[in-house]
Amino acid sequence: MDELSEHKADLKSLLQYALQEYGNATLMKRELMENGHITESIGEFNAEISMVVAEKNRLYLRRYDVKTNDGKSSFSFILGHAAMLFAISARKFRDELLQTEHIEGVATLKQSVFDHIVMPAAIIILNNEPAETWLTAAENIDQLVEMFCGHFEDKWKVYRAEKLSPENMLPEYYNGDDKLIEEKLSGSNVKELGEVATIIAGKGARREEYSDKGIPYLRARDIKNGKVQTPEVYISTDNVGAYSRQLLQEGDILLTKNFGQNKLALVTEDDIPAIASNMLFIIRPFEVSEGYLYKYLTSKTGQEVFDKQIKRIQKGVTVPSVALCDLIHVKVPVLDESTMQSIESLDSISKDEIVETTKNLMKNTSMFTESQIEGVVRDALISAGWSADRFIAEKQATVLIGNGRKWMPDLAYQLDDGRKVIIEVKSNLGMIRPGWIEAMQSILHGDGDFIFILTTGMYYEIHVPSAEKSLQMISPPTIEAILNWEKEVR
């Protein structure tokens, strides 16, 4: 909206007025609810202010429809709690907004920077249909004015999107990181947490109900490093009936309401009986095992996916917290039974970092099959730059090894020059029969026009034709690294 450039001072005054009114929302709220709208004149601008209600009547937003006094320029914006951009319960508002309006820009407003803002806020700028929408976390009022006018500096962290998703309109969602999270989820059978587990809110106790003995009463401070600590407070057995729903069972997963690192714990037999306080959620899985769900949520990949979703639905200024109505909609992957059983046996999982994954595989070798490692290795190689569509179907991967014999490798990959990379997966090197590697080397030194990789997941041994030595690596090799090494040794 470059035409606003000549009105920057008045535009700044208008935005300051809007922010101040938002900071004192109750002053205007009553009048808006009674009259539908009010009109304010600020410099060269006349603004008609109306109320927009979102999030099941709990989120009151302000809409400003603004015109210059000469009628040559007009624009609109919506100002309100940042939850309007991401809260699951505000999804209907976003759906309707995207269907009926054209969004030019979205900016979140930091409480620490903007005067009068006492809760997370955001502004949505409406205009004629733009080619793309810009999204940012505004750093100050002057920057916001410049963006209203369509002026941007390279140093500003601004994301752009041709199409906004009603799932999430936070600027950070369009920086690529959160999109990768969504892609990770989209590749699995995804369900909402409330579809695979019963979620129970803990219950607060009055101080006079506290006792020196009885049933342990767990608070957020009692959850540390994934474990339930010895509590300081108890509820008398005489009052336990009032907390029957909050009594823990073995296998329950505890989540602190004010979410933070190491605030998940799996309830063991030693932890019960106990009562969950109002600062805890009880997650009681019924469609997946508690072992799988807990291992997933506490794994590196799980934390990335789960933690980001939790942060999207947090509310509150001083101490952000999560509401039960939002938590039940958080998405989790539900994998095939054998994979979930394997994950349940691991200390942590992360397919993006094969070294971390395979350390755990080695700890759990007896419970992890080679076929399962194959999938992890394949994903790790793809993460290292191997093309997913170059992996060869099993029937086409057969290799002739002399005397009419055929060998069907665990994995095979087609190089640009037509050769194959043959990958053999072993859960541990002790499973390789004597002379097997020598036989493979003999084929390579003969007519075998392929590259051979032996891997346990945490160890890669690469053999190329006519080379006297192999290349050993503890991380997944890139194709470029293999071919460069092949040039050096041949």
The residues that bridge with 67 in the sheet, in sequence order, are 46, 74
Strand-pair category, 74-81 with 45-54: unpaired
- Taking each helix axis from N to C end, the angle separating 370-383 and 337-344, rounded to the nearest 10 degrees, works out to 90
**Which letter does DSSP use for residue 103 in this model?**
E
Confidence of residue 358 (pLDDT cuts 50, 70, 90): very low
User: Distance between CA 33 and CA 26 in Å, rounded?
Assistant: 11
Confidence of residue 240 (pLDDT cuts 50, 70, 90): confident
Confidence of residue 359 (pLDDT cuts 50, 70, 90): very low
253 three-state secondary structure: strand
pLDDT, tens digit, 9 for 90 and up, residues 290-345: 877 887 777 766 776 777 677 666 655 445 667 787 788 777 777 655 555 555 55
Per-residue pLDDT at 153 exceeds 60: yes
| Mean pLDDT computed over 207-234 | 85
Residue 353, pLDDT score: 39
| Mean pLDDT computed over 25-41 | 65
Residue with tokens 């947490």: 193
Residue 350, pLDDT score: 40
- Topology annotation, domain 388-489: tt1808, chain A (3.90.1570)
Please state which of the ranges 42-46, 53-57, 253-257 shows the lowest mean pLDDT.
53-57
User: What proportion of the chain, given as a percentage, has pLDDT over 90?
Assistant: 1
User: Distance between CA 347 and CA 435 in Å, rounded?
Assistant: 34
Half-sphere exposure of 107 (CA within 13 A, CB side): 25
When the candidates are 3.90.220.20, 3.40.50.1110, 2.60.120.10, 3.40.50.880, the CATH number that belongs to 194-344 is 3.90.220.20
Residue with tokens 């941007």: 152
Q: Residue 120: is the preceding peptide bond cis (ω within 30°)?
A: no
| Mean pLDDT computed over 72-86 | 85
| Mean pLDDT computed over 128-145 | 82
Residue 124, pLDDT score: 92
Per-residue pLDDT at 57 exceeds 70: no
E strands, 153-293, where?
158-161, 190-192, 197-201, 210-211, 215-218, 223-224, 227-228, 234-235, 253-256, 264-266, 275-276, 280-285
Residue 361, pLDDT score: 36
Task: Tally Cβ neighbours within 10 Å of residue 89.
Answer: 17
User: Distance between CA 37 and CA 214 in Å, rounded?
Assistant: 57
Mean pLDDT score of the chain, rounded to an integer? 75
| Mean pLDDT computed over 24-40 | 63
Confidence of residue 68 (pLDDT cuts 50, 70, 90): confident
Give the contacts of 265 (CB within 8 A, at least 6 positions apart).
Answer: 223, 226, 227, 228, 253, 254
Which candidate, 271, 268, 280, 263, places its Cα nearest to that of 199?
280
| Reduced 3-state DSSP string for 293-311 | HHHHHHCHHHHHHHHHHHH
Give the contacts of 447 (CB within 8 A, at least 6 positions apart).
Answer: 402
Q: Residue 285: is the preceding peptide bond cis (ω within 30°)?
A: no
Please state which of the ranges 150-154, 300-304, 468-472 shows the lowest mean pLDDT.
300-304
pLDDT, tens digit, 9 for 90 and up, residues 398-452: 666 555 566 677 888 999 888 888 888 876 655 555 566 666 666 655 555 788 8
244 vs 26, residue with greater confidence: 244
Strand-pair category, 197-201 with 280-285: antiparallel
Q: How far is CA 472 from CA 82, 330, 333, 354, 377, in A?
A: 51, 42, 34, 15, 16
User: Distance between CA 159 and CA 129 in Å, rounded?
Assistant: 18
User: Distance between CA 381 and CA 352 in Å, rounded?
Assistant: 10
Copy the structure tokens of residue 81.
């709690």
Q: How far is CA 300 from CA 30, 304, 350, in A?
A: 47, 6, 6
| Mean pLDDT computed over 25-34 | 56
| From-to residues of CATH 3.90.1570.10 in the chain | 388-489
CB 253 within 8 A of CB 285: yes
E strands, 286-396, where?
331-333
User: Distance between CA 365 and CA 426 in Å, rounded?
Assistant: 10
Residue 445, pLDDT score: 53
| From-to residues of CATH 3.90.220.20 in the chain | 194-344
User: Distance between CA 170 and CA 177 in Å, rounded?
Assistant: 12
User: Distance between CA 382 and CA 485 in Å, rounded?
Assistant: 20
